[in-house]
């Protein structure tokens, strides 16, 4: 059953207008197609409904498309139901103008999204010390990349990784995501750079991970590797691996993706509890 607060938020809400992520031509842009024009779509609550927390949401899609509804819009509406300002990131993917590897372009977009949200914090009723990142599948790879490759202005304060691609190692990674990001035959050093479990440090933000054991597209070992690296670095973390559930379940409430397996909807209850425990949902006084 969908929580009442979530069901009320998710009734026929229009999609807000996206904002260009950059002023002028994006860095590393190679063309003018939609795939090479990153945007940020703000789902904003009024000041009296917002608790100050914010999250940049990275939909999945193997770095070749973006699941902007069930891993974007729906996640943003769920975040709003918790009082969290949400921003859905349309980052660079492969397309007409960029048929080859993406390399650093998606990471630049994620870093820029964090900077934009913090720069407009006063306007958008956001606490600059409670801005996180949430990624699904390949978007989880981007989120975990941001959580391990950041500067002072772009470091997330927390991370949520939903059935994420984390590693680029053969046998663990998602082949399509690896090819789209790094190319057909990437150099070993490039593969190493984007094996994000190898770049966790004490500065990596507290992280919540969700995966399913039935996921045959992105093995749950991705989440497990990142979790174990977080524990070695003594970074606060929580992980839930459900026995059942196919890849791409989103919030676990959309029948199109759950295939009748409704119990994965429970995972967002654990996420909500974790956000509360971390103090992320505590309103600004």
Asked if the structure places residue 10 within a domain, the reply is: no
pLDDT digits (tens, 9 = 90+) for 93-123: 998 888 889 999 999 999 999 999 999 999 9
Answer yes or no: are the C-beta atoms of 102 and 94 closer than 8 Å.
Answer: yes
Region for residue 133 given its phi and psi (left: phi exceeds 0; alpha: psi -120 to 50; beta: otherwise): beta
How many other C-beta atoms lie within 10 A of the C-beta of residue 263? 12
pLDDT of residue 115: 98
- Which of the four pLDDT bands, split at 50, 70 and 90, describes residue 1? very low
Higher pLDDT, 13 or 55: 55
pLDDT of residue 261: 73
Answer yes or no: are the C-beta atoms of 84 and 159 closer than 8 Å.
Answer: no
Q: Across residues 49-77, what is the average pLDDT?
A: 97
pLDDT of residue 12: 46
Select the highest-mean-pLDDT range: 95-99, 216-220, 250-254.
216-220
Helix (H, G, I), strand (E, B) or coil at 255: helix
Asked if the structure places residue 180 within a domain, the reply is: yes
Q: Is 251 exposed, middle or buried (0-12, 13-18, 19+ CB in 10 A)?
A: buried
Asked if the structure places residue 285 within a domain, the reply is: no
Tally of structural domains, the chain? 1
Domain harbouring 188, CATH code: 3.40.50.1820
pLDDT digits (tens, 9 = 90+) for 164-210: 999 999 999 999 999 999 999 999 999 999 999 999 999 999 999 99
Asked if the structure places residue 35 within a domain, the reply is: yes
Asked if the structure places residue 173 within a domain, the reply is: yes
pLDDT of residue 13: 62
pLDDT of residue 32: 86
pLDDT digits (tens, 9 = 90+) for 137-156: 999 999 999 999 999 999 99
State what percent of residues in the chain have pLDDT above 90.
84
Spatial separation of the C-alpha atoms in residues 90 and 172, rounded to whole Å: 26
Asked if the structure places residue 77 within a domain, the reply is: yes
Quote the domain boundaries for residue 204.
26-277
Q: Across residues 20-39, what is the average pLDDT?
A: 92
How many other C-beta atoms lie within 10 A of the C-beta of residue 118? 17
């Amino acid at each position: 059953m969908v929580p009442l607060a979530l069901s009320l938020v998710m009734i026929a809400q229009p999609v807000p207008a996206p904002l260009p992520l950059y002023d002028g031509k994006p860095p590393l842009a190679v063309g003018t197609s939609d795939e090479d024009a990153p945007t940020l779509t703000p789902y904003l609550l009024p000041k009296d409904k917002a608790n100050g927390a914010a999250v940049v949401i990275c939909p999945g899609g193997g770095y070749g498309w973006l699941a902007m509804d069930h891993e974007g819009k729906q996640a943003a509406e769920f975040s709003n139901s918790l009082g969290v300002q949400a921003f859905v990131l349309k980052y660079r993917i492969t397309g007409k103008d960029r048929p080859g590897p993406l390399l650093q372009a998606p990471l630049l977009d994620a870093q820029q999204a964090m900077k934009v949200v913090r720069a407009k914090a006063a306007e958008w009723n956001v606490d600059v010390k409670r801005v996180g990142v949430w990624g699904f599948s390949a978007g989880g790879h981007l989120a975990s990349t941001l959580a391990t490759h950041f500067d002072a202005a772009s470091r997330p304060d927390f991370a949520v990784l939903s059935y994420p691609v984390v590693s680029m190692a053969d046998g663990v990674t998602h082949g399509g995501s690896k090819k789209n990001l790094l190319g057909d035959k990437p150099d070993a050093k490039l593969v190493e750079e984007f094996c994000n479990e190898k770049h966790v440090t004490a500065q990596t933000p507290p992280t919540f991970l969700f995966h399913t054991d039935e996921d045959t597209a992105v093995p749950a070992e991705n989440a497990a590797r990142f979790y174990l690296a977080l524990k070695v670095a003594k970074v606060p973390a929580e992980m839930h691996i459900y026995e059942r559930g196919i890849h791409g379940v989103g919030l676990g409430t959309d029948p199109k993706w759950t295939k009748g397996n409704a119990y994965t909807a429970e995972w967002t209850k654990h996420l909500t509890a974790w956000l509360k425990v971390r103090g992320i949902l505590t309103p600004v006084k």
